Amino acid sequence: MLIRSKISCLNKILHKYNEQGNTMASPAPFTLCRIQRDERTYFYALFRNPETGKRTNKKSVETLRKQLGIYDTTPIRRRDEAIRICQKALEEGIVFRKQQEQLFGAYLAEFYTYEISPYVRRRNLLEPGSISKDYIATRKNLMMNHMIPLIKPNLYLSKVTLETLEQIQLSLVEKQTISHSTVNLCMSAVLVALREAQRRGFVPAAVVLSLKHLKSSHEIRGILSEQELASFMQYAKAHAEKRIYLACLLSLLTGMRSGELRALRYQAIGEDLITIDSAYADKEGLKVPKGKKTRLVPCPSFLGRALKELAMENPFANPLLLVFWSKRNGGFVSSHYFSERFIQELVRSKVLTLEEVVERNISFHSLRHMANTLLRGSVDEHVLRMTIGHSSEQLSDLYTHLSQRGLKSVELAQQNNILPLIGEVHDFTKQDE
């Protein structure tokens, strides 16, 4: 009897609710959740589909903000701000819009975000290491700084046309804030993203995705004359910080890139050889060198010992035994360290003025070109390319058979063509005795 009485009461309540026309409060259209990760707060929203009543998978509120055409990178910290964005997303019909109706600007931002890009994930699964974090970061900066500000906030990906792209290209040229070569790089990056969208069916196959490149002149990397180089290196040895002189000398003798110098470790330095098996980039961290191959380069024994001494002078914990360590924390030096310090010392030496450095396009990378110039003619061209790091698979096979003879020829060329020029012949001779 008691059970029947309870059922009867429930039926009366339901009947009364139905008669009142369902005036009780309807479920909230979304629920917010807050996640703390790496000292940052992230808001996510679970939306309820008004047609089915089912909840969606959680959506990032920051992603919704981008889809609304608000390209603000400031983290969302306040709950009321997150609520306003979610409400606006519902009003604009973004939440339950079909995937192919994604906004063009939001698509580009996601496409060039390494952590969430389906394109990057797919490419790196099929060809491991084919797309690096630094490569993607460079293109994302181009998108955020130059491309997306020119795209209409409400332009859908499916509505992009050749005319759209040509108008953006024209706007970039008219603004005159970036060079033609950078405009070409921007547009090429956009075309890569759109071709992938077209492959996935988000852009109609009939849309022509081809643009004429703008004419641009590639700025040739300048080099110092032999007399300028000799004067600078003698000045640097006498007056510059030891690490700067050693970095310049090493790059001049071996053609090592700045990323390879940043990654150089004590254990890579042999008696008269250096093993170049890694480079360092800001986003990627330690990685294989450009060309994805390990190479050996001759290094005079006196220089090898000086580099090892520099590594051991690090006052910080240095488990990697970095040779060129940061004075701030003992870790990797910044990406601009060698270039900035080289130019500072070059100007201080009075070999060139700052205006001449800029006009002639001289940089730390110029030392690598100097190495190529000074060694050429005394070293077999194939061996030189392998030593400097301009390689192909065919050259790698050839180099395996020429390695001992080839390395000796590079060593002799260093002794005869470079060291006497910069006044190191006397020191080098002492090391060999």
How does pLDDT run across 102-122, given as a tens digit for each residue? 899 999 999 999 999 999 999
Q: Are strands 295-298 and 273-276 parallel, antiparallel or unpaired?
A: antiparallel
The confidence score (pLDDT) of residue 97 equals 60
| 330 burial type by CB count under 10 A (0-12 exposed, 13-18 middle, 19+ buried) | middle
- Per residue in 251-299, pLDDT (tens digit) is 999 999 999 999 999 999 998 899 998 999 988 888 888 767 788 888 9
Domains of the chain by range and CATH? 28-97 (no CATH), 99-213 (1.10.150), 226-432 (1.10.443.10)
Name the one residue in this structure whose structure tokens are 């090898």. 304
pLDDT at 431: 45
Residue 28, Ramachandran bin (φ over 0: left; ψ between -120 and 50: alpha; else beta): beta
Q: How far is CA 92 from the centre of its chain?
A: 34
End-to-end alpha-carbon separation of the chain, Å?
Answer: 111
- The pLDDT assigned to 400 comes to 44
Q: What pLDDT is recorded for position 381? A: 72
The whole-number pLDDT of residue 345 equals 96
Per-residue CA distances from 258 to 13, 141, 145, 314, 320 (Å): 77, 22, 26, 19, 17
10-residue mean pLDDT series, the chain (433 residues): 47 46 63 86 88 82 83 87 90 68 91 93 88 90 94 92 94 92 94 92 87 78 90 95 95 92 95 90 85 83 94 91 94 94 96 94 92 81 68 44 68 87 63 43
Give me the pLDDT at residue 335, please.
92
pLDDT of residue 389: 62
Nearest to 209 by CA among 152, 147, 165, 159: 165
Tell me: the pLDDT tens digits for 47-74? Answer: 988 778 888 778 899 988 887 778 788 8
- In which residue are the tokens 């070999």 written? 351
Residue among 218, 19, 226, 195 nearest 123 (CA): 195
Closest C-alpha to 96, from 53, 33, 44: 53
- What is residue 403's predicted lDDT score, i.e. its pLDDT? 59
Q: How far apart are CA 137 and CA 209, in angstroms?
A: 23
- The structure's pTM equals 0.62
